[in-house]
Amino acid sequence: MILGIDGARLRAAVRDNDQLLLEIETVPDVMGCVACGVIAESKGRRVVDLVDAPWAGVPVTLRWHKRRWICHEQHCEVNTFTEEHPGICAPRAKLTTRCTNWALNQLRREHASVAGLARQLGVSWDAVWSQMRPILEAKAADEFRFDGVTTLGVDEHIWHHTFPHKAKGPKEFTGMVDLATDHRGRLRARLLDLVPGRSGPVYGQWLQDRGPAFRDGIDTATLDPFRGYKNAIDDHLQDATGVLDHFHVIQLANKAVDEVRRRVQHDTLGRRGRKGDPLYGILRVLRTGVERLKPRQWTRLQAGIQTDPRHQEVLDAYLAAQDLRAAYRINNTGNGRRKAQKILRTFYRSPIPEIARLGRTLRRWKQEFLAYFSSGRASNGGTEAILCRCRHRMAYADI
């Protein structure tokens, strides 16, 4: 055994400063014709150089002395043939099997690009991608990854943000993630699929394609406040509990506070905020959780509010948003749910238009909003994390 290859042995190994050359051959054995099975006769060897995975940062060339054979069966369509060994390389490949597996691991775990791998190996982009593509397509076609999914997350994925006229393929995708946990309750999210488009019908069709067994196994479906995905869950996952992601709910609350600040700023000064303006000076403070405010930040907040009586509306909006955050921070989910129900009863009647609009939004999502407290604090954070990694990798990838 050499380099994890059964049935091969080392003939020579030469190391210099630039590369490592390994000469190998297969173990002698009786060979039958690939077409008729008749015992074939040896017809010499053919030397083939293959690119192997780097060793300790040094490029490796695998020189395979391939045996050639001749079939003497008169009625056989095959005259001569050369041995093949899947453990060494695929037919007519330039990369060894070990090198292809190494490249796949680099692509998955080290944020490598195909172009970068080609530079490391000293081959063309096509040589690397032609070896990797069939393996990746086979894995994508294998639906074994859909087995056992009970908590399903969904979110949009933007493939490219800039230069849309130069980018190829669709821009928006819908990503589905398995939000599984291990025996210790730690999240072990994994990407299930990315399909072109960002809409309810796209997600609904994907759920329909998975079949009834998959859909019946889903207990919890997390999502962001996007009506299209909610419609798909209502239509195809009737028995699953839809959960609105708490991060996005808090994000909506912070956005409402910022809108109040900008409106009051414009009403009092007639323009956008600038450096030195009281409300502009507390912009970052208004985005900080009340429990994290330091005494100096409290002083700044109070000073900014007290400069004008009309600024009180900003403070009221900030405290309302903190009430919403507090519902998620309560350790006892029963108490948290009761606080959330109180928010549903009061926010939509707020005299502050932005907070009232937030309250109406939460009432439209009432079932999904409250489900957070009865679903073991299910979150779409794992989905965001997985797709964020995809965005980061595709920013540097060239496939």
Instruction: Look at residue 164 in the predicted model and tell me its pLDDT.
Output: 53
For the chain, residues with pLDDT lower than 50 are: 1, 395-399
**Euclidean distance between CA atoms 227 and 300, whole angstroms:** 39
At residue 182, the pLDDT reads 79
- Please tell me whether the overall predicted TM-score, pTM, comes out greater than 0.85 for this model: no
Name which of 140, 114, 116 is nearest 129 in CA terms. Answer: 114
- Residue ranges in the chain assigned as alpha helix (H): 97-109, 114-121, 125-141, 200-210, 212-216, 227-236, 246-269, 278-281, 295-306, 312-329, 333-346, 353-364, 366-371, 381-394
pLDDT at 396: 42
pLDDT score recorded for residue 391:
63
Query: Where are the domains positioned within the chain?
Result: 8-139, 150-244, 247-378
Would you state the pLDDT for residue 1?
A: 45
Q: How far apart are CA 257 and CA 277, in angstroms?
A: 17
b/e per residue, 29-51, with b = 16+ CB within 10 A?
eebebeeeeeebeeeeeeebebb
Q: How far apart are CA 293 and CA 302, in angstroms?
A: 12
Task: Please state, in angstroms and rounded to a whole number, the distance separating the CA atoms of residues 193 and 196.
Answer: 10
For 54-86, write each residue's pLDDT tens digit.
888 888 899 999 989 898 888 888 888 888 888
Determine the Cα–Cα distance for residues 45 and 67; give it in Å rounded to an integer.
Answer: 4
CA distance 11 to 9: 7
The partner residues of 51 in beta bridges, in order of sequence, read: 61, 95
